Amino acid sequence: MEQSFLAYLRGRTRQLPQVAVGIGDDAAVIDWPEPSVSNGLQQIACTDQIIDGVDFRSDEQSLVDIGFKSMAINLSDIAAMGARPASALVTLALPSDNATEIAGEVYEGILEAAQRYQVAIAGGDLSTYDGPLSISITILGWAEQPWLRSGAEEGDALFVTGALGGSLLGRHLRPEPRVELATKLNETVKVHAAIDVSDGFSLDLDRMLAASRMGAELSLESLPISDAAHEFAKTSGRTPLQHAWSDGEDFELIFCVSSEDAEVIEKTDWGVPVTRVGKVVGRTGLWKRVETSKFERVFPQGFVHGETDTAAAE
């Protein structure tokens, strides 16, 4: 439902000249009305909302962690645009009972993340009502050349940061948005396209490639699998690879660069793992290498709002 509604909304949203990139990417790109005062920068804006009972459970999870997560998931979108975060607007809809106490705990997590990633809280809104806790954060940032999902080129090398899968064992509450890494990459190589892993590695990779009208040949044996995915597999009935392929809320980055820049990336210590997992190809879809160097079609899976998750790569 979410993707079909976004397609409808893109068609219904009037494009104004100041919006360089609108609905459909990790964040919007907004041009300054007076280019002479922009210093070559474009404004990047993203927003996300999380709701108790849907995206978290306040009776089971720390409100401080929930506040941290609400900021971090937006920062992950900023990182996926190759941008630097600057300021945030925070809106809390609070249940009437214990509203002040709840707001204080949530804000401790928000402020912790804001301080860690040098984001100023510029304002927002507070309201109380007879309903569940809802947190909505909008982050504004800046970029010289924003990374989009639509820039992948045939022959590009595909990379993913960190390790994948098993985030629901706890890592999803304290994600590490790759803001610093995005800045380092911008200073070193030219990223052609990028997306963050929020709904699952394969599903988000497929979205990026679809926006670029490309596909990918993947070396699944190279996919970085987290320790949590191995732990989760002991009881889930799924393999560690299946968790890495389709688990959501990793908040890592998928990106692609030229083959020349790929060599630079593989020779550089980035402070976090950056793993080459395949290459961009002209035929659409995801393909894995099998015996005799042939490729077999594999299908993306992950978390889709309003749909049932299914298992993936074997």
Per residue in 67-82, pLDDT (tens digit) is 999 999 999 999 999 9
- Give the per-residue pLDDT at 24: 58
Residue 132 tokens, joined: 């569940």
Q: Which of 124, 128, 98, 99 is nearest to 110 (CA)?
A: 124
Q: Is 235 annotated as a binding residue?
A: no
Residues 245-257 pLDDT 10s: 999 999 999 999 9
**Closest C-alpha among 312, 310, 311, 297 to residue 215:** 297
- Token pair 């989009």: residue: 148
The whole-number pLDDT of residue 123 equals 87
Domain boundaries 149-298, CATH class: alpha beta
Under the banding of pLDDT at 50, 70 and 90, the label for residue 311 is very low
**Consecutive H or E run containing 236:** helix 227-236
Instruction: Check if the beta carbon of residue 313 is closer than 8 Å to that of residue 219.
Output: no
In the predicted structure, residue 268 carries a pLDDT above the cut 60: yes
Which whole number is the average pLDDT over 93-120? Answer: 94
Would you state the structure tokens that stand for residue 65, as one six-digit string?
């962690």
First-to-last CA distance in the chain? 27
Q: Which residue from 6, 7, 34 is spatially nearest to 18, judged by alpha carbons?
A: 34
269 assigned ligand-binding residue: no
Q: Find out whether 149 is annotated in a ligand binding site.
A: yes
Average pLDDT over residues 132-159: 96
CATH number of 2-143: 3.30.1330.10
Please state the separation of Cα 24 from the chain's center in Å.
Answer: 13
Is residue 142 exposed (0-12), middle (13-18) or buried (19+ Cβ within 10 Å)? middle
160 φ/ψ angles, rounded to the nearest 5 degrees: -135, 145
Answer yes or no: are the C-beta atoms of 66 and 55 closer than 8 Å: no
Surface-to-core class of residue 169, CB atoms within 10 Å of its CB (0-12 exposed, 13-18 middle, 19+ buried): middle
Return d(Cα 18, Cα 39) in angstroms, integer: 16
293 known member of a binding site: no
To the question of whether residue 124 is assigned a binding role by annotation, the answer is yes
Known binding residue 8? Answer is: no
- The answer to whether the annotation marks 206 as part of a ligand binding site is no
pLDDT over 50 at 102, yes or no: yes
Asked if residue 47 belongs to a known ligand binding site, the reply is yes
Look at residue 168 and tell me whether its pLDDT is greater than 50: yes
pLDDT at 4: 62
**What's the pTM?**
0.87
Q: What Cα–Cα distance (Å) separates residue 63 from each residue in 47, 121, 270, 281?
A: 20, 18, 32, 44
Tell whether 303 is in a known binding site: yes
Is 130 annotated to bind a ligand? Reply is no
- Domain extent listing, the chain: 2-143, 149-298
| 48 is known to lie in a ligand binding site | yes
Query: Is 178 annotated among the ligand-binding residues?
Result: no
* Distance of alpha carbon 229 from alpha carbon 238, whole angstroms: 9
